[in-house]
Structure 1
Amino acid sequence: MPPPKLGKNQVFFGTFIHSKGLDELEYLHNAAVCVDTSGKIVAVETNCNQQKAVETLYGRLGWSLDDVSVVRARDGGQFFFPGFVDTHVHASQYPNVGIFGKSTLLDWLNTYTFPMEASLSSLPKARRVYTRCIRQTLAHGTTTAAYYATIDVDATNLLADLCYSMGQRAFIGRVCMDHLGPEYYIDESPDQALAATRATIEHVRSLDSDYELVSPILTPRFAPACSAEAMKGLSELQKQTHLPMQTHISENRDEVKLVKELFPNSKSYADVYDTHGLLTEKMILAHAIHLTEEEADLIAERNTKVAHCPVSNSALSSGVARVRWLLEKGIQVGLGTDMSGGYSPSILEAARQAKLASNHLAMPEGQLDGLPQDERDKAKLSIDEVLYLATRGGAQVVGLADKIGAFEVGMQWDAQLIDLGIVPAEVTEDDFTTHGNVDIFGWEKWDERIAKWVFSGDSRNTKRVWVQGRLVHQQT
């Protein structure tokens, strides 16, 4: 069933924080954001309390007091923040979160990933896994997710149904892999892979005809898993449907070596996708760790996007992606949890790890060793920058930059209410209440509070989450 319709216009009062640009957070204090019944932001007013809104704002919008529902962020410890965008996540791998042992990518796929994905052809099991995955990502403030499902059409369609009914904005990818994979988990042929993909597209269209909330996304797993015929077929299908696409690139050195062996006539991993018509402005490439200069230039020229997955990159010992280098080339970058290579459903965790991973690039004897220290220091990302990647950057990557990622008129109200714990002025040895790991004493500046949240926050700080104006998660 579809998510419930909005019965009233909504006005949100309090502090609003969002990215104005890559390196600048904007703080709107004592503000009001008005959201109509379609879930769209129709007014953003600073220095506006409820009395002022009643006297001036509602009349200007043609709203009566009875038409309005009000939500207030508490002074001091609460603020509204845009919903997070997860640009790369495997819903089908959620049960394996944290189970990667000493594996590297290719071993991990065969030991953990393929068996789990294949088992989700059992729809009761798939429902259990997908429901929990969606609930967890929503609870961590993820309002939009680019999901990989499995090769099974029915299970993939179920993921779309659940996202739609639970109100999460989602891209649903039926995985194509007809060339490399275990006998028990592989597409029979390129034609069968394309027919199965079309079946999922039709199902999602019947569910959400305009793809307002849930959209298909064409999903070749990665070059080694796909035949040339399948990749060319997906390219043609993309031209017909104009749908987004997603895949992996240069996650692991052994993977890069395998691609070279499988496609000896291609100049590079990126060239494989380009020659098969997949390297377009609609494509999201996950990881992009071991790109050459020429590959990065080609990706920039094609306006192809990158999903940066720092948690998974570290967990599987894949490497450290050079995000600053990608950004300076003009490549749009967002963050991905990459569960279950990544151990957490939290984009906030991805943001903090993006910050820390970028610091490693600047360290002596690191990946950039040999460059002057000031050049290495440029690789480091700031708090403001990783939060941009988590919101507006992610919105760019999934093609929704005009709809989500900030609090601006015309955008959708995809948002979260964050609550940071205020330490009481009078506290005794026996008194210990907590809102999570973040303790605010009251003397911190707002940028310091945000830094505390990024490095210590978790789902306990996420009190409410809205998608398209609808409340989709609330802590009890």
Structure 2
Amino acid sequence: MDIIFFGTFMHSTKEHSLQILENHYIGINDGQIQFLTDKEDFERLAAKFSYNLQSVRHLKPGQFLIPGLVDTHIHASQYPNAGSKMDLPLLDWLEKYTFPLEAKFSDLEFAEKCYRKVVARTLKNGTTTACYFATIHPESSLKLGEICDEYGQRAYIGKVSMDISSHSNYTETTEKSIRDTRWFIESIKKLNNPLVTPCITPRFAVNCSPSLLRALGNIAKEYGGLPIQTHINETVRERESVLKLFPKHDSYAHIYESFGLLTNKTVMAHCVYMNDCEFDTFKETEAGISHCPTSNTMLQSGIMDLRKSLDKGVKIGLGTDISGGYSASVQAAIRDGVGASKTLGMDKSKSYKPVDFKELFRLATLGGSKVLGLDDKIGNFKVGKEFDALLIDLTVTDSPCDIFGDEISEDLLQKFIFLGDDRNIVEVYVKGQQRLQNNNFLC
């Protein structure tokens, strides 16, 4: 189906954290962007691709298109705890709240209820691509993949692997973890949906034996280089615990690298306490970072120096990290990322430059696509990419932000990021298919 929009489009490129294209046309066919042009060249391109000029949709003042948001780190199974239970630091929080919750996902009915809610909520908030942690349970992890398939969300799905745990009802043997991981991969592949991809998911080195980490690295390679996701350097206590468990390794990053778990398709969440050698290892392996500023603050883990990480040239995206993070909206991660960077900058020299909302917007779109190895498909409105997009409307009757008619386009985007919410996201597209209209799903 052909789609043509005329109006204002805002996206990021390699060269520009924010590029604003006003009075432009974008043409989409079979889910792919065929042209993005101004008025002068529109008729020629429309004729070239045989578009019906009567089908052009003209955006109103206060409306604009942005790329779909990419959440590079979210625990779908923790969604019932979102917005609550944030009174403890990470390791204690896992023991008291998180592992007992995740153990409930052995109940397929409970899992389906939760996963339907989190996929619906993230899509309503403009997350067209999500990198999900599920639990150790293969059947309910598959259910998450089936729900993403049904709703049309682009997703990486990970059955969690962990053969070390203090909770007897939430652990698995090494052999079972390996066997279930293979079953899960094959089951997701049988969905035959290119939007839904299995992801190798060791919880983190604290919860995995060397034998399991080695097997997971081998499985990722065996299946042609599957995506990998896990955690690293989230807290000082966690980092110290890992290095005691693996005394032969000189860094947390080296542990993962030695087991084949650092690749150009690896997503490493948090990275608050990285040393220069670890940044170098990330650069060499092309592993990416999921910056989770909301949960880093809520669990008192620390503040990642985003400016330093960007200067190191490592791939970086944003993660909501539900339920360490309180919100399933990537907008919250943008807002909190700006606040965290400015807070850190207060203790820096005057030459230190905090990261602004435009750069965080790039991380939430193009940056996230690079971290997930999808930047050849999504992340901005470059011709040839798939059309993952949000139609934003700041004029809806119940809008949480007010506009006054004299704002420039950059102001409108900034107001949406800092004041807007799902009420302003009136249409959601994934690969050219409209999935949401005015908070109603079109599955």
Q: TM-score range by the shorter chain?
A: over 0.9
1:275 Cα offset (Å): 1.7
Residue pairs, 1:322-401, within 5 angstroms: 322-364=305-347, 368=348, 372-374=349-351, 377-378=352-353, 380-401=354-375
Gaps of 5+ in 1: 1-7, 423-432
Aligned-partner Cα distance in 2 for 1:356–1:101:
19
Q: Does 1:47 align with 2:11?
A: no
The structural deviation recorded for 1:191 is: 2.1
Task: Please identify, of 352-361 and 179-188, the stretch whose mean Cα deviation from structure 2 is larger.
Answer: 179-188
Alignment check: 8 A CA contact 1:351 1:390 kept: yes
Aligned counterparts of 1:352 and 1:271: Cα–Cα separation in 2: 32
CA–CA separation in structure 2 for the residues paired with 1:101 and 1:341: 7
| Counterpart in the other structure of 1:207 | 191
Pairwise CA distance, 1:373:
2.1
Structure 2 unaligned residues grouped into runs of 5+: none
CA contact (8 A) 2:86 2:324 kept: no
> How far apart are 1:434 and its partner, in Å?
3.4
Q: CA deviation at 1:81?
A: 0.4
Amino acid at match of 1:468: K
Q: CA deviation at 1:63?
A: 3.8
C-alpha deviation, 1:445, in angstroms? 1.8
> Which residue in 1 is equivalent to 2:17?
24
1:44 and 1:22 map into 2 onto residues whose CA distance is 17
Residue number in structure 2 paired with 1:473: 436
What is the TM-score of this pair, normalised by structure 2?
A: 0.95
1:320 maps onto 2:303 in alignment: yes
Q: Does residue 260 of structure 2 align to residue 263 of structure 1? A: no
Deviation per CA, 1:108-157, whole angstroms, max 9, x where unpaired?
A: 11111111111011111111110110111001110000000011011000
Aligned identity (percent) is 42
For 1:164-190, what per-residue CA distance to the aligned partner results, in whole angstroms no more than 9, with x for missing partners?
Answer: 1100000000000012341101112x2
Name which of structure 1's ranges 146-155 and 294-303 shifts more when overlaid on structure 2.
Answer: 294-303
Quote the residue 2:177 is aligned against. 193
Is 1:81 the counterpart of 2:66 in the alignment? yes
The ranges of structure 1 where at least 4 consecutive aligned residues each deviate by more than 4 angstroms after the TM superposition are none
Q: Distance in 2 between matches of 1:395 and 1:176?
A: 24
Whether the 8 Å contact between 1:73 and 1:417 is mirrored in structure 2 is no
Q: Does 1:293 align with 2:257?
A: no
- Superposed CA offset, 1:45-104 (max 9, x none): 2127xxx96x54432103456xx8544321x20000000000000000001001223211
Aligned-partner Cα distance in 2 for 1:22–1:179: 45
Summarize the Cα distance change of 1:144–1:69 in structure 2 as closer, same or farther, 3 Å threshold. Answer: farther
Alignment of 1:50-449 (within 5 A): 56-64=44-52, 70-74=56-60, 76-188=61-173, 190-208=174-192, 212-241=194-223, 242-364=225-347, 368=348, 372-374=349-351, 377-378=352-353, 380-421=354-395, 433-436=397-400, 438-449=401-412
1:10 aligns with 2:7: no
Partner SS state of residue 472, structure 1 = strand
TM-score (norm 1): 0.89
Deviation at 1:23, TM superposition (A): 4.6
- Give the Cα–Cα distance (whole angstroms) in 2 for the partners of residues 258 and 23 of structure 1: 40
CA distance in 1, matches of 2:229, 2:90: 18
Q: Secondary structure at the match of 2:194?
A: coil
Deviates more, 1:76-85 or 1:268-277: 268-277
Provide the secondary structure at the position in 2 that maps to 1:396.
helix
CA RMSD of aligned residues (A): 1.6
User: Is this contact kept in 1: 2:62–2:395, CA < 8 A?
Assistant: yes
Count of matched residue positions in the alignment of Structure 1 and Structure 2 = 438
C-alpha contact 2:264 2:373 (8 A) present in aligned 1: no
Instruction: Check whether the contact 1:11–1:33 (CA below 8 A) recurs between aligned residues.
Output: yes
User: d(CA) in 1 for partners of 2:424 and 2:129?
Assistant: 19
Taking the aligned partners of 1:237 and 1:148, their CA distance within structure 2 comes to 18
